[in-house]
Structure 1
Amino acid sequence: MPANVAIQGFRGSFHEVAARQYFGAAPALLPCATFGAVVAGVLSGAADAGLMAIENSLVGSIMPNFALLERAALRISGEVYLPIQQHLLALPGTTLADVQAVHSHPMALRQCGGFLGQHPHWQLIETDDTGHSAERLAQAQTPAVAVVAGRQAAELFGLAVLVPDIHDDPLNYTRFLVLERQLPASDPASGANKASLYFYTPHQPGSLARVLTEVARHGLNLSKLESVPRLGQPWHYAFHADVEFEEPTQFAALLTALPQYTEALRVLGTYWRGIMNEE
């Protein structure tokens, strides 16, 4: 169990909730303003582990975080699926007619596009964090401002839920990755049923299809495939892939087969699949 965990966000954020769901109450949480700071904290040893959002079921992948995974000497050691319930929070006594501006993290605002679009006169202001937005409102006591955040932020900072559940889909999940420093060489598939890979293939017809054929041939489930630009090679792409397997031998056989179809291949981590529990 790590003594401290770096998270993107502050008190009352969904990263805090996800970290407690995965690690429990024991570790100290080290708030970071950016995802890059989370990675840097783990790399430097300031944090024993980090937690980083990677995708949301409504708005998709957080693309800059794939670049962080690609460039950092970290390993993915776990994942968390957290149901996200976004609410419109305000100072007690505030009405919808009072609201002139809504503050929140850009991902939270995007998850609530339908509701916010019904109020085109509201000014949408992007911030570094949902919980931080709620804390600032509680400190500033600005009646014309509302924030998009979770119920945990409302309870922590004494705000009222002006409108509950404003996200576009009730099945709104964010997937978080647990990051740790690289360990000495060990069995990459021991005690795991999911792996994250980074690879690129020759820039020629059918090269990606051959990789995907090998994944299927060895009986693994491809649960995620994301293309990312390769620096210095315009319109050439690398890929981040998540594969799920029942037996470690399946993954070991895939790793043996893939080098002949790829120009580079890196295992970003092997870990247990997260579980999606509805609140």
Structure 2
Amino acid sequence: MKDLKEIRAEIDSVDKELVSLYEKRMALTEQVADYKLSTGKKVFDKAREEEKLEKVTSMVDDPFLKRGTRELFEHLMSMSRKRQYQKLAEKGIMEPIPFEEVAALPDKNIRIVYQGEEGAYSQMAMQQFFHDTTNSYHVQTWRDAMEAIAKGEADYAVLPIENSSAGIVSENYDLLVEYDNCIVGEQIIPIDHCLLGTKGSKLSDIEQVYSHPQALMQCGRYLDEHRNWEKHSFKNTAMAAKKVKEDGLLRQAAIASRLTADIYRLDILDEHIQDNSNNCTKFVIVTGRKIFLKNAGKISICFEIPHESGSLYHMLSHFIFNDLNMNKIESRPLGERNWEYRFFIDFEGNLNESAVKNALHGIKEEAENFKILGNY
């Protein structure tokens, strides 16, 4: 039997040959790229790659090595494509990204829409982001807000997208795909929930509690302590407070903000009732124009991929190869195809950066229904 030192020396020798062959293969890739550039052929040829994978794996008998061979060549071809995308960018042939850079968001004579009633957390986020919100109005649903942007009835909409305790607002992820609006900003605000009742009511009077489903989830432990209370979902925390005010029943309470208590003249029966003392909600600012700020540092995208082994891995490799930091990934089911998903990704970068352009071009070429949701 050979000793370990001798075996390792042989591995080093093989590795040296592999590196040399890799360099030779990538040099040939450069020639392929030049040919495709001159003829206008697409970089990604799925049928050709699948044919190649079948051929190389047929050369191996051992099942484990067969799987490894396929994975090795999938990665080699992925690296080849990424180099070809780089060459496209260097030659200025890459399809331009349809977003316009602006020095500042237009803020003169603008109209802003948010969902809910006066006192809603969306209104607070709007006030913190825009400061001057004199020309704003509210609508019943998030879809109404997106529709107002699409129809040109408003310039900006403010939508909750994620809570630090309850997670994503899935409906708004879906609306970002459905509508051709884009994200141009975000605002994070602390969420401090109170239990609000009509004037003169006491905690012992409460039988029914109204609030938005997210707020009910964020106060889950508190509500579990009062199991006799009936919980009712409402479109908005401020709408729930307004209902309690209008009904005027001692047995009803709403979970909403302290500001809402002042607006609707309700008593605060309990406060700080959320499970997480650092409870925060992230809101996105949406507009109908495809614009981004010069100093924008976060990009949101979504795409679909074939329902097959390795698909997501190959998409994510574009971030790794271009040295981009991905900081969030979510998935949402595709309603028309059971057990298949659309992926949403946030990563650091600006649409002017060459690494970002390379990554986005590669993902667009290789994914299905790719969309840039915004750079902000």
Change (3 A) 1:189 1:97: closer
Residue 61 (structure 2) pairs with residue 61 (structure 1): no
- Unmatched segments (≥5 aa) in structure 2: 1-106
SS in 2 for 1:92: coil
Are the equivalent residues in 2 in contact too, given 1:102–1:146 (CA < 8 A)? yes
- 1:265 matched to which residue of 2? 370
Matches within 5 A, 1:20-59: 20-59=127-166
Q: Measure how far apart 1:59 and its partner are.
A: 1.1
- 1:242 matched to which residue of 2? 346
- Paired residue for 2:324, among 203, 216, 220? 220
- Unmatched segments (≥5 aa) in structure 1: 272-279
- Fraction of identical pairs, as percent: 29
Task: Report Cα offsets for 1:120-176 as digits up to 9, x if no partner.
Answer: 111112222111222232233221111100111012122222111100111111111
Residue 187 (structure 2) pairs with residue 80 (structure 1): yes
Distance 1:56 1:200 in 2: 24
- Paired residue for 1:199, among 303, 313, 318? 303
Residue correspondences, number: 268
The answer to which of 169-178 and 230-239 deviates more is 230-239
Residue 346 (structure 2) pairs with residue 256 (structure 1): no
- 1:277 matched to which residue of 2? none
Matches within 5 A, 1:36-185: 36-183=143-290
Distance 1:59 1:16 in 2: 20
SS in 2 for 1:234: coil
Task: Report Cα offsets for 1:27-61 as digits up to 9, x if no partner.
Answer: 42221111111111111111111011111111111
The answer to which of 73-82 and 207-216 deviates more is 207-216
Are the equivalent residues in 2 in contact too, given 1:207–1:261 (CA < 8 A)? no
SS in 2 for 1:233: coil
Are the equivalent residues in 1 in contact too, given 2:211–2:234 (CA < 8 A)? yes
Residue 118 (structure 2) pairs with residue 14 (structure 1): no
Are the equivalent residues in 1 in contact too, given 2:299–2:350 (CA < 8 A)? no
Change (3 A) 1:119 1:26: closer
Task: Note the aligned Cα RMSD (angstroms).
Answer: 1.9
Are the equivalent residues in 1 in contact too, given 2:126–2:133 (CA < 8 A)? no
Q: Measure how far apart 1:92 and its partner are.
A: 3.4
Distance 1:29 1:230 in 2: 34
SS in 2 for 1:109: helix
Are the equivalent residues in 2 in contact too, given 1:228–1:238 (CA < 8 A)? yes
Distance 1:233 1:135 in 2: 40
Q: Measure how far apart 1:23 and its partner are.
A: 0.9
Q: Measure how far apart 1:103 and its partner are.
A: 1.2
Q: Measure how far apart 1:263 and its partner are.
A: 2.9
> Taking CA–CA contacts closer than 8 Å with sequence separation of 6 or more, which of the two structures ends up with the larger relative contact order?
1
Amino acid at match of 1:195: I
TM-score after normalising by structure 1: 0.89
Distance 2:295 2:276 in 1: 34
Change (3 A) 1:127 1:170: same
Change (3 A) 1:50 1:118: same
Are the equivalent residues in 2 in contact too, given 1:85–1:165 (CA < 8 A)? yes
The structure with the greater share of residues assigned to strand is: 1
Distance 1:230 1:135 in 2: 36
Change (3 A) 1:189 1:49: closer
Change (3 A) 1:260 1:140: closer
Are the equivalent residues in 2 in contact too, given 1:115–1:166 (CA < 8 A)? yes
Distance 2:352 2:186 in 1: 18
SS in 1 for 2:117: coil
SS in 2 for 1:162: strand
